[in-house]
Amino acid sequence: MLIVQDLHASYGSSRALCGVSLQVSPGEIVCMLGPNGAGKSTLMNTLSGLVRQDRGEIVFEDSSLDRLSAVARARLGIVQCQEGRHLFETLTVGENLKLGASRRGLAWRKVATELDWLAELFPVLRPRWRQQAGTLSGGEQQMVALARSLIAQPRLLLLDEPALGLAPALVRQVFATLPLVAQRGVSILLVEQSAPAALQIAGRGYLLRAGLVVMAGSSSEIRAYLEENGGCLGSSLAGSISMGN
| Digit-coded pLDDT (tens) for 112-152 | 777 888 888 888 888 999 999 989 888 888 888 999 899 88
The predicted model scores a pTM of 0.87
Mean pLDDT to the nearest integer, 55-68: 94
CATH of the domain at 72: 3.40.50.300
Return the closest-CA partner of residue 32 out of 136, 162, 134: 162
Number of domains in the chain: 1
Predicted confidence (pLDDT) at residue 58 exceeds the cutoff of 90: yes
Establish if 6 belongs to a structural domain: no
**Helix, strand or coil, per DSSP, at residue 40:** helix
Establish if 2 belongs to a structural domain: no
Domain span at residue 143 reads: 25-52+68-239
Residue 204: φ, ψ to 5°: -140, 170
Compute CA distances 178 → 72, 120, 143, 200, 212, whole Å.
25, 13, 11, 11, 26
Establish if 131 belongs to a structural domain: yes
> What integer pLDDT is reported at residue 235 of this predicted model?
42
**Helix, strand or coil, per DSSP, at residue 20:** strand
| Digit-coded pLDDT (tens) for 68-113 | 999 999 989 999 988 766 888 899 998 888 888 776 666 667 677 7
Establish if 139 belongs to a structural domain: yes
> What integer pLDDT is reported at residue 104 of this predicted model?
66
